[in-house]
Structure formats: C-alpha cells, structure tokens
C-alpha cells in the first residue's frame, strides 16, 4: 500500500519530474471526486482580503512554504517591471506561480498531493489542507491570465503533457474526466516528452493559462491547467508500453466546492463556474456518472457541427436533437454517426439563434 501511494504521488509531478518507474501501474481517468476544486466564484474579492493574513499563518506553520514564498517574492521584484499583466493581477498571484514552478523543492508536489485528496469534505479541507492561501492565489492567477469565457472568446490552447510513472486509461471514449490537480503542460511537444512517456496526453484546454513569462523555467513554454476543468476523452490508444490520450475541453469547469474557506460546503453534484450560458449551470449529469458517449459527443461537437451544412438542430421537449448527415467526425477519434438521430440531456445550450 505504501509503495502504491508513493507511485501515485510521483506520477503527478508532470513537467517537473524525470523520475521513471520500472513497473508502471495503471490508473483509470475519471472525474476525480476527492479533488479540492474550489474556483472561488463570487467571492474572489473577499478571499483576497482573507488570504493575506491566512498566508502568514500558513507560512509560520510550514517552513518550506515560507522559504519558497520569500525567494519568489525577491525574484518577482526583479521581474515585475518587465511584465504585461491583466487588470486585477496582483503580486501575490505572480508569486504563487513562481512558487509552483520552482522544481528545486517539493512544494508543488506537496500542494498537488493535498489538492488531489483534500476535497472529501469541507471539514477535511479546513483542518488538514495546509495551503489554502496558495491554492487561492494560484487559482486566481490562472483565471486572470486566461480571462473569462474560456474558449467562447478564443480557440484555447493545444498542449502536451508527459507522465513517466503511470499508465492513465479512460474507461471508454466519450468519458468526462478532470485531471484533478494543477497540471503542467507544454505548448512544445518535444518538451513534454522529456518528462515521461508512460502516458502522453494531447489536450485542448480552455481554462489552462500560459505562464511562460512568470515561470522559473520559461523555456518549458508551460500552460498550467486548473484542477476543475472538464475534458472529453476523444482518443485513446496504446503504443507498446505507452498510453496515448487525447482530451478536448468541454469549455466547462466542474466544482463541488465554492468559497469553502468562507463557509461553502461540498455539493453532491458538480456545478459549472464557466458561464456564457448561465451564472451557475448545474451539470446534473456529473452528479453520479459522466455523460454517455452520445451526450458527450454532442456537447463536444455542437459548435463544430453547427457550422456545417450537413448538420441540423432542433429543440424537442427540452432535448436537443442533432441529425448528422455527414460522417466526417474522424479527427477526434470518435466513430462516424452518419444519418443517426441523437438526443442528449444535460447539455449547456446556446439560444437557438446561435446554433
């Protein structure tokens, strides 16, 4: 059990680790229900006020956090004058990124370890999550750098992530998954491959933020993906000892927690914080299981299909029906669906005039 736990922890080092395991375990990709996934929707300003004294308390209890923060603060003072940053971006946000990307110590690893397991309950988070301020600052930094709207205002980023210690495998194509931690990726495929090939991810992210300008290692061209972004599994294959996984963002996030430090309890179902459609869209299909492949397929291809003459949509009794006359859905590794009438629930729909 101890060895398995160690292998699991080491697997999440992402772009920050070159450690290679001889025996590579297999873990399923899923929605990571125990992840602490707070996106601080509607309480960011109040959390900014709370986080400053909270950080001081946590640094007093955690020597590595204090040393890392102080070193990053000094580096920030030398770098900040050369940076172009979005409105609302504060020194603490930039320092949090610099702390996270400093792989000369294990703080990023410790943070991700508690992020992956710290979401069992609000009580667990309040008592046993030692990086509450760092989690907030890092989450807020990604939100500000990425901007609101996810992929509704741009195409997102196509990135790569190499993992050298575990085979991650989805249950099936069309599954919904979250990475369940702050996940390092790179715009440069060759860079990502240096950090592992047991599982190699190709991803399109809508909420991952390019942090190259703030990273301790800018040459890695890093894009940092938040724990709560939801992806569709569009392709999976095995090449010898390597698992190849392609994930495409739903342009949605999924959080069980919101403003937990201020009293928000864990919700039984995920709620989307991204919203061109609604300020708090409840994704009931994430409550107990991911959407069916049909539901996931329609959500993923809605924008793509609406631009094609061969696809038509109509609303029927709260359901969206898509009639696909063209089987040209191959680029994402999903089966052709020519001529089928598909119906899906739990879909975040645009108004009909935008379809």
d(CA 113, CA 227): 12
Q: Which of 122, 140, 146, 161 is catalytic?
A: 161
Three-state secondary structure call for residue 170: coil
How many residues in the chain?
355
Return the structure tokens found at 267: 């919700």
d(CA 108, CA 95): 13
Answer yes or no: 265 catalytic. no
Q: Which of 58, 157, 220, 222 is catalytic?
A: 222
Integer CA distances (angstroms), 28 to 88, 215, 269, in order? 38, 30, 20
Q: Which of 103, 184, 215, 243 is catalytic?
A: 184
202 pairs with which residues across the strands? 160, 246
Answer yes or no: 127 catalytic. no
d(CA 142, CA 227): 11
- Is 172 in contact with 98 (CB distance < 8 Å)? no
Integer CA distances (angstroms), 6 to 65, 70, 85, 109, in order? 22, 29, 38, 12
d(CA 335, CA 340): 12
Count Cβ atoms within 10 A of the Cβ of residue 158 and give its class: 0-12 exposed, 13-18 middle, 19 or more buried: middle
Q: For the chain, how far is it from start to end, CA to CA, in angstroms? A: 51
Answer yes or no: 184 catalytic. yes
Please choose, from the candidates 333, 331, 312, the residue with its C-alpha nearest in 3D space to the C-alpha of residue 233: 333
d(CA 247, CA 15): 17
For the annotated catalytic residues, the residue numbers are 161, 184, 222
């Amino acid at each position: 059990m101890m060895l398995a736990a160690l292998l699991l922890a080491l697997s999440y080092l992402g772009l920050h680790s070159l450690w290679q395991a001889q025996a590579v375990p297999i873990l399923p990709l899923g929605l990571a229900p125990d992840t602490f996934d707070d996106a601080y929707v509607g309480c960011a300003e109040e959390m900014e006020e709370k986080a400053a004294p909270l950080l001081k308390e946590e640094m007093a209890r955690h020597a590595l956090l204090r040393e890392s923060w102080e070193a990053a603060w000094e580096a920030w003072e030398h770098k900040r004058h050369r940076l172009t940053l979005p409105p609302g971006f504060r020194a603490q946000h930039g320092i949090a990124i610099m702390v996270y990307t400093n792989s000369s110590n294990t703080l990023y690893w410790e943070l991700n370890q508690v992020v992956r397991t710290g979401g069992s309950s609000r009580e667990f988070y309040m008592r046993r999550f030692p990086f509450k301020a760092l989690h907030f600052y890092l989450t807020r930094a990604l939100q500000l750098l990425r901007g609101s709207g996810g992929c509704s205002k741009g195409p997102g980023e196509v990135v790569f992530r190499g993992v050298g210690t575990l085979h991650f495998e989805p249950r099936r194509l069309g599954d919904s998954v979250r990475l369940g931690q702050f996940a390092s990726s790179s715009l440069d495929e060759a860079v990502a491959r240096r950090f592992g090939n047991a599982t190699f991810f190709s991803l399109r992210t809508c909420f991952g933020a390019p942090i190259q300008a703030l990273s301790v290692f800018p040459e890695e061209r890093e894009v940092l993906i938040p724990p709560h972004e939801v992806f569709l599994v569009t392709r999976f294959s095995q090449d010898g000892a390597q698992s190849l996984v392609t994930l495409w963002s739903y342009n949605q996030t999924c959080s069980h927690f919101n403003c937990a430090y201020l009293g928000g309890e864990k919700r039984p179902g995920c709620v989307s914080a991204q919203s061109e459609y609604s300020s708090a869209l409840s994704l009931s299909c994430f409550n107990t299981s991911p959407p069916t492949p049909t539901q996931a397929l329609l959500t993923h291809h809605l924008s793509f299909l609406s631009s094609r003459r061969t696809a038509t949509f109509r609303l029927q009794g709260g359901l969206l029906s898509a009639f696909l006359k063209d089987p040209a859905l191959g680029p994402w590794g999903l089966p052709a669906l020519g001529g089928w009438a598909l119906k899906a629930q739990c879909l975040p729909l645009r108004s009909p005039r935008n379809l």
